[in-house]
Amino acid sequence: MSTPIPDDKREEVLGLARSGLSRNEVSRRTGVSTASVSRIAAAAGVTFDRATTAVAVEARVIDLKAARLNLAGGLLDDIAEARVRLHQVSEPREFFDLARSVAVLTNAHVRIAGLDNGDPEAEAAKSMLGDLFTALKTQATQYDSSDDDTPVAPVLEPSHDGGEHP
């Protein structure tokens, strides 16, 4: 015979179930088996209504999108900070390491931003960040292949949108 579930754990299960979470999510959050979650909910007259669960899932999707946007914004801040530091270094190795850091951060940002496709502003930002990432990779390759330890300045060429791209 298994150990009885304490009253405080039962209340936690009921609270989560009443908030609209699915039986599986209540089980994951509380560590109580799905069968026990079902029995506790049924005894209290709480059902796992799919419409309520769908609303909770939709709210969770919105929360996750907001968290991704927040993370993407933080990565942009990190990229900007690394770029400032990039232009302040005098040692070639440090320049190279920072250039790679900017490239990695940019790639992470592009991947996170890509999770929420369909937003025209996100598409423009991804395009710009993709161009930046390509330029940094080119810069790193030129640095690796140069004979001395002097950083190579990128060559900017006009683009079709009126800006300049490496």
How do the pLDDT tens digits run along the chain, 166 residues long?
678 999 999 999 999 988 888 899 999 999 999 999 999 999 999 888 766 667 777 888 888 888 998 999 999 999 999 999 988 998 999 999 999 999 999 999 988 888 876 656 666 666 777 777 777 777 777 766 655 555 555 544 545 555 544 5
- Any residues with CB less than 8 A from the CB of 143 and at least 6 apart, and which? 92, 95, 96, 99, 151, 152
**Does residue 49 fall inside a structural domain?**
no
Based on the domain organization, do 38 and 99 belong to the same domain? no
In terms of domains, do 27 and 97 share one? no
The CB density around residue 5, as the number of other CB atoms within 10 Å, is 17
Confirm if 157 and 166 have CB atoms less than 8 A apart: yes
pLDDT the model gives residue 114? 80
Residues 12 and 82 in one domain: no
Q: What pLDDT is attached to residue 150?
A: 55
Does any domain span residue 1? Answer: no
| Co-location of 39 and 107 in the same domain | no
Q: Residue 36 falls within a domain, yes or no?
A: yes
Give the whole-angstrom CA distance, residue 50 versus residue 150: 63
pLDDT of residue 165: 47
Q: Do 68 and 31 belong to one domain? A: no
- Please report whether residue 77 resides in a domain: yes
Structural domain includes residue 22: yes
In a domain, 81, yes or no: yes
Domain identity same for 71 and 21:
no
User: Is the same domain home to 73 and 36?
Assistant: no
Element housing 39 (H / E): helix 34-43
Would you state the pLDDT for residue 21?
Answer: 84
Calpha distance 42→44 (Å, rounded): 5
Cβ pair 30, 9 in contact under 8 A? yes
Please indicate, yes or no, whether residues 67 and 144 belong to a single structural domain of this protein. Answer: yes
Reduced to 3 states (helix: H, G, I; strand: E, B; else coil), residue 70 is: helix
Q: Are 140 and 98 in the same domain?
A: yes
Same domain, 71 and 37: no
Domains in the chain: how many in total? 2
Q: Which domain holds residue 17?
A: 7-43
Per the CB < 8 A criterion, the answer to whether 53 and 23 are in contact is no
Put simply, whether the predicted model's pTM sits higher than 0.85 gets the answer: no
Based on the fold, state whether residues 88 and 123 are members of the same structural domain.
yes
For 133, the token pair is: 């990432």
Choose among 116, 106, 16: nearest CA to 66: 116
